Structure 1
Amino acid sequence: MKQTKPETPSDWNYEAAIAEIEDIIAQLESGELPLETVFAQFEVAVAQLKQCDRFLNQGQERLDLLIETLTDDDG
């Protein structure tokens, strides 16, 4: 059975996610966060990165399908 990937939430925004990840990186690099906060922020960043990866993969699949329809129409 084919396993489907979870869909991107409708209120999620790629650019906002990247900005949040960059903010978290800056906080982590500052060295001023308590270790517990570092772990929590790292977990948030990883979750956002996974969502970004899913978003980009879904976009690539859509583009591939569109390109395939162009190729099929030319044949």
Structure 2
Amino acid sequence: MKKNATFESAAKELEQIVSQMEKGDLPLETALAKFEEGMKLYEFCSKKLDEVEKKVTLILQDSEGNLKETPFGTE
């Protein structure tokens, strides 16, 4: 995985790894290396999704029905 990877690039790379592994024609060592890389990509994507979900849940409606964003980590 690249150091400055985006969610989209990591997800695309993960899809490619899954596709390669589904074919079932990779040597065992290569398949294991692809699996390990896939798990790193999965964890990266999962973390990014969690971060976005937390940000989205901080958008609140005020008493007039207007949306108000509350910075993450403040109560």
TM range (shorter): 0.7 to 0.9
Matched, 1:27 2:27: no
Q: Greater strand share, 1 or 2?
A: 2
Which has the larger share of helix?
Answer: 1
Distance 1:61 1:29 in 2: 33
Gaps of 5+ in 2: 65-75
Equivalent pairs counted in the alignment come to 62
* TM-score when normalising by structure 1: 0.73
| Greater radius of gyration (CA) | 2
| Structure of higher RCO (CA pairs closer than 8 Å, 6+ residues apart) | 1
When normalised by structure 2's length, the TM-score is 0.73
Q: What is the root-mean-square deviation of aligned Cα atoms in Å?
A: 1.6
Q: How high is the sequence identity, in percent, across the aligned residues?
A: 34
> Displaced runs of 4+ in structure 1, greater than 6 A?
none
Listed as ranges, the gaps of 5+ residues in structure 1 are 1-9
Q: For residue 38 of structure 1, report the CA deviation from its aligned partner.
A: 0.5
Question: CA deviation digits over 1:25-68, x for unaligned, max 9?
Answer: 11111122110110110010111011111100000111111x23
